[in-house]
Amino acid sequence: MEKAREIILAKSAGFCPGVKKALERVRKLAEGGQGPVFTLGPLVHNGQVLSGLEAEGIRAVESLDELKGKSGVLVLRAHGVTPEVETQARGLGLSVVDATCPLVKKAQNAVSRYAAQGYDTVIVGDAGHAEVIGLVGYAKERVFVVSGPEEAEKLPDFDKVSVVAQTTQEEDVFRKTVEVIKSRSKNVVVSDTICKPSRDRQRETVELCRSADLMVVVGSKKSANTARLAAICRRLCPQTLFAESAADLDAALVESARRVGVTAGASAPDSLIREIVSALRRLG
C-alpha cells in the first residue's frame, strides 16, 4: 500500500516576537483613541494583514513627508530607523511610539558603541533592507554593507573594524564573512547580532530539509528573512516551493512528495500558514 504523505510544520513558523509585539502595540494604540495610527513602512509583508490593519485605522506610510500637517500617532516598526529619521519623526508634531525590536536595538547599540571608539563598521546583511539602512545610520566612521564572504573579499583593509550581523542573517554566512575580515585586519571586534528567533527558525529549517523531499517556504518574496529560508531549502532539499498563497503550490510537485516540510518567514501570518497547510493536505 502507498504510504500517506507526511506534512511537517516547523514549530517556529509564524510571526517572530518582534513583529508580534509591534502588532499588539499598534492595535492597542488604535483602540486608545489618540487619532489615526501610522506606521513608517508596512509592519508585515502581507496584503491581507495590512488591509485588516487599515480597517482598524492603522495605515502604513512610505515616507515622513506624507505625515506633514497630520495629527495622530506614528509608530516606528520593529526594523528600527536611523537616528536622523527618528529625530525628523519626533519633529513632526505627532506622538511617536518606538516599536523597534529590542534585538534590533542590540545591533544598533553594537554599531554605535564601537563607532564612538573610532572603529569602521561592516554590516553583514542586505544593503537595501530597512533594518540595515537603520544600522548604517548608527555608524560614524567608514561603514560598509556586505552580503557575504565574496563581497567581504573586496573590502579595503582596516586599522580597526567592528562587524555586526543583520538580525536575520544566516549563521554560516556571518561566520565565513568574519573569517575573511579577520584574515585581512588585525583589530576586529565581532558582535554576533543574529537574533535567537531567526537562529532557531533557520536551524529548524535545516533540520526539516534533512528528511523532507519537498520544502514549502511560506511568506512574501519581499521579506529578506523568508528569502534566506528559501535559499537554505534550495541548497539542502531536492525540491523547494516558495508560497505567497496556496495558488503558488505546484500540484504535481506536491503529489510526488512523500514528506513535505513547511517553514515560514517572521512576517507570515498564521492564517496564511493554515491556508497553505490545508491546501497541501487537500492536494494529498
> 12, 112, 169, 198: which one contacts ligand SF4 (CB under 6 A)?
198
The CA distance from 202 to 196, in Å, is: 10
- Residue 277: phi and psi, rounded to 5, are -65, -40
Using CB under 6 A as the binding rule, the residues of this chain from 19 to 38 that contact ligand SF4 are: 19
| Residue 80 and residue 131 in contact, taking contact as beta carbons nearer than 8 Å | yes
Bridge-partner residues for 124, per DSSP?
A: 146, 165
Q: Cell numbers at residue 103, please?
A: 534585538
How many residues lie near ligand SF4 (CB under 6 A)?
A: 14
**Coil vs helix vs strand at 224:** helix
| Using rule CB under 6 A, residue 17 touches ligand SF4 | yes
Per-residue binding string, ligand SF4, 235-274, x by CB under 6 A, is -------------------------------x--------
The CA distance from 178 to 189, in Å, is: 10
Q: Cell numbers at residue 57, please?
A: 485605522
Tell me how far, at minimum, the Cβ of 44 lies from ligand SF4, in Å.
11
Stretch that binds ligand SF4, among 11-19, 38-46, 67-75, 231-239 (CB under 6 A): 11-19
Handedness of CA 265, 269, 275, 281 (dihedral sign): positive
Among 264, 108, 266, residue whose Cα is nearest residue 275: 264
The CA distance from 215 to 218, in Å, is: 10
| Using rule CB under 6 A, residue 167 touches ligand SF4 | yes
Tell me how far, at minimum, the Cβ of 96 lies from ligand SF4, in Å.
19
Using CB under 6 A as the binding rule, the residues of this chain from 40 to 79 that contact ligand SF4 are: 78
Tell me how far, at minimum, the Cβ of 220 lies from ligand SF4, in Å.
14
Per-residue binding string, ligand SF4, 176-195, x by CB under 6 A, is -------------------x
Tell me how far, at minimum, the Cβ of 126 lies from ligand SF4, in Å.
13
